[in-house]
Amino acid sequence: MSHEEKPMEADPNQSVKAHNESGADSLNMQRVVSRRWMLFKAAAAFNGLVGLALAIPIVRYLLAPWRKDASYKSWVSLGPAESFPTGETRLAVFKNPSKRSWDGATDNVACYVRRTGTDQFSVFAINCAHLGCPVRWFPQSQLFMCPCHGGVYYADGSRASGPPERGLFTYDWQVVSGELHIDAGQMPTLSNTAKLVKISHGEGETSCG
């Protein structure tokens, strides 16, 4: 084995010898002064204990963002319901409820509000159900198109073509004293809604975070 470890020595035999000697020495040392070794082991174990004690808070700190979806969500106003004309789909922008002062413009979140009746809304996430790219609404052809991989959705959010497995993500909504509120705060992805997804031609009716 020492050949492997030190193949470049000019004289391999010599190195083998040296290696063996030093190994023997350390063995002798261990036998002779076993008290030192015991103290060493105790100190190492102590360090291990301290490390473990510190590891728990560190891991807890690292996992801090890992929370239940619901804890990130809250009801956000999109403004007066009257600002969304009936029969049309409009882009709406709201502030992420868990925003921080250094978020800059990234605290904006966009969504599409489709008003189908006096008190009938659908609120779609901007994120394509495929890989989260921002879909764009085309009122002329009544389609949502995704610029990344060509996912296309009909006006009701259901999948029209392309790689997405399902329709657009939707937000739960309610009208409170004339204002449209949605339950939002989390980037919608497949995992938030996985249990509700219908793989074949999703209808885009599941809620998301």
Partner 1 sequence: MRFIALALAVFSVPLVAGCGLRPGYPPNPMLRPTAVTDFATLYNQNCAACHGQNGQNGPSIDLANPEYQALVDDATLRKWISGGMPGTEMPAFAQSAGGMLTSAQVDALIAGMRRNWQRPNAFDGVSPPPYAQAAVGDPVRGQSTYQARCAQCHEPTRDSANQQITSPRYLALVGDQALRTIIIAGRPDIGQPDWRHDSPGGQAAAPLSVVDVDNIVAYLASLRNLGQPAPASTASSHTTPAGR
Partner 2 sequence: MRVNGTMSRVYKWFESRLQLEAPVKEAALHPVPRNTASWWYVFGSAAFTLLFLQIVTGILLALVYVPSAGEAWSSLNVLNHQIPLGWFLRGLHGWGSNFMVAIVLIHMAQVFLFGAYKFPRELTWTLGVFLLLMTLGMAFTGQVLRFDQDAYWGLGIGASIMSRVPFVGGGLVHLLLGGPVIAGATLSRFFALHVFIIPGALLLFALLHVWMVLKLGINEWPMPGRLVRRATYIDEYNKLAHEDGIPFVPGAFWKDLAFSGAVVAAVGVCTFVFGPFGPGGQPDPSIIQTVPKPDFFFLWIYTVLSYLPPQMETPFLLIAPLVAIATLLAVPFWAGEGEKSWHRRPVAVLAVSTIAICWGVLTHLGATTPWSPHMNAWSSDPIPVHYLQHATPLVRQGAVVFQVKQCRNCHSIGGNGGERGPALDDVATRMTIDQLRYKVVTGGGNMPAYGKNLSPAEIEALVSFLETLHPANEPPAYDASRRAVDESQSQPRPQSARPPAPPVARQTANRSANR
Q: Pick from 73, 78, 81, 114 the residue near partner 1 by CB under 8 A.
A: 114
Binding residues among 52-81 for partner 1 as defined by CB under 8 A: none
Q: Is 61 in the site for partner 2 (CB under 8 A)?
A: no
DSSP 8-state code for residue 165: S
Query: Residues 6 or more apart from 73 whose CB is under 8 A from it?
Result: 97, 183, 184, 185, 186, 209
Residue 6 or 19 having the CB closest to partner 2: 6
Q: What are phi and psi of 32, to 5 degrees?
A: -70, -50
For the CB of residue 192, give the shortest distance to partner 2 in the complex, in Å: 6
Q: What angle do CA 47, 63, 74 make, to 5 degrees?
A: 155
SS3 80: strand
Q: Which stretch binds partner 2 (CB under 8 A): 34-42, 78-86, 115-123, 152-160?
A: 152-160
Q: Is 63 in the site for partner 2 (CB under 8 A)?
A: yes
Residue 81 or 188 having the CB closest to partner 2: 188
Residue 185 or 202 having the CB closest to partner 1: 202
DSSP 8-state code for residue 7: T
